[in-house]
Amino acid sequence: MKGNKLIDDHVQISVNLVRYKTHGKNFEIAIDADKALAYKEGDEVDINEIISADDIFEDMKKGMHAKEADLSEVFGTTDTTTVVRVMLEKGEIQFTQKYRAELRDRKMSKIVNIIHRNAVDPKTGAPHPENRIISAMDEAKIKINDLKKAEDQVNEIITKLRPIIPLSLETAKLRVHIPTNFAGKLRSSIAGFGKLTTEQWLNDGSLMLEIELPAGMQGELMDELNNVSHGGCSVEKI
């Protein structure tokens, strides 16, 4: 699929680049891999921050620059920013093997962590250990899309994992009472676990919160509360 294709695993390149073949011509430009990936994942990135240099090549390895006449014919302009935008949308992002391996490791770790934190075993209500999720992904022969956000791949991956391990995306709602001397510190950290639906400061300076969060993160929240308040918080399931 155009704009989503990576270089073949057996081909080695030394520079991360975008290659665009059209009208019988070839265009290449060196890129900052992280910024190009963020752009393909839908983040707002300045095109000029993606390109490593303004040079557009016909063949980068041979040092052959693209002819201005060819740029005008194909893109209707010689403006680098405009040309690169088209190349990113229609061309092939080609990562070095080293970067691609690092990228897949990072994305794999993120996907596993998301599943661990957001999905539970419906029989026990507890999250699966990350090593169990990794084993299940190997068994299911899950293929990770390098150019798609980890968050956007999770639901499809969970569907493929369910025949191997039971998984359920569930939320929990908790009511948390925080003593006065820990209220300020814990309020901000609790908000990072989910959505605060109720927040009430009581007359004694303590704080009552209600939070909706992924069921698999309840244990982490409890650990945070206990570590900071030394067991001083009270938690009630709603």
pLDDT band at 13 (very low <50, low <70, confident <90, very high): low
How many angstroms separate the CA atoms of 89 and 100, rounded? 19
Instruction: Report pLDDT for 65.
Output: 95
User: Coil, strand, or helix at residue 95?
Assistant: coil
**What residue spans of the chain are helical by DSSP H?**
33-40, 47-50, 68-75, 80-90, 97-118, 130-139, 150-161, 180-191, 218-229
What percent of the chain is modeled with pLDDT above 70? 95
How many angstroms separate the CA atoms of 37 and 87, rounded? 14
How many angstroms separate the CA atoms of 95 and 16, rounded? 5
Instruction: Report pLDDT for 89.
Output: 93
User: Coil, strand, or helix at residue 56?
Assistant: coil
From first CA to last CA, the distance across the chain in angstroms is 47
* Closest C-alpha among 221, 225, 216 to residue 114: 216
Q: What is the mean pLDDT of the chain?
A: 89
CA 41 to chain centroid, in Å, comes to 8
Q: pLDDT, tens digit, for every residue of 146-168?
A: 888 998 999 999 999 999 999 98
Q: In this model, does residue 144 exceed pLDDT 60?
A: yes
* Closest C-alpha among 181, 174, 173 to residue 229: 181
Domains, the chain, ordered by start:
17-94 (3.30.1250.10), 98-168 (1.10.10.900), 171-237 (3.30.70.240)
Instruction: Report pLDDT for 5.
Output: 41
Q: pLDDT, tens digit, for every residue of 189-222?
A: 898 888 999 999 999 999 999 999 988 888 889 9
